[in-house]
Amino acid sequence: MAERIPFRYLVQHICSGREALDPRKIDAAFGSLEILHIFAKHRGVTIALENTPGELSSPETLDQFIKDTHLNDLRFCFDIGHAHIEAGVAPSFKQMKERVATVHIHDNHGEKDEHLLPYEGTIDWDEALGALAKALMAASCLLCLS
């Protein structure tokens, strides 16, 4: 697809639904992403793994996945709505912020993935946007130093 329609990020879920942590599924994700990230890199595309509800795609699991597989070119898509359903926006972002390349912004009431517009659910948007702005400013400062 990237050869026909240029894009910068490919957001990838490594599971569907609320899946429990399963070493076989981690191995399957590794097998697929090991090949995909090579093709993506050669086409100027960064693969961003998205946090989703459940253990298999929690921020902690995704972070550990990259450490264990050494697929250091992978980044994260921080899904604010999914974080709100699970551990919370602030703790989830804290776990993921070093590798966040893109963000999926939507709201919900903390129970299901409603994909509401911001401020139509119960996410504390002042806190969420403040954390994103702070991370963006820190990243910009690092770019200035290099």
Rounded to 10 degrees, the C-alpha dihedral 113/19/55/38 comes to -100
Place of tokens 């550990």: 64
Q: How confident is the model at residue 73 (pLDDT cuts 50, 70, 90)?
A: very high
Quick one: average pLDDT of 1-6? Answer: 89
- The reported pTM is 0.90
What are the tens digits of pLDDT across the range 24-54? 999 999 999 999 999 999 999 999 999 999 9
Q: Is the pLDDT of residue 5 over 70?
A: yes
Delineate the domains of the chain, giving CATH numbers in brackets: 9-145 (3.20.20.150)
Range in 14-23, 113-122, 125-134 the model is least confident about: 14-23
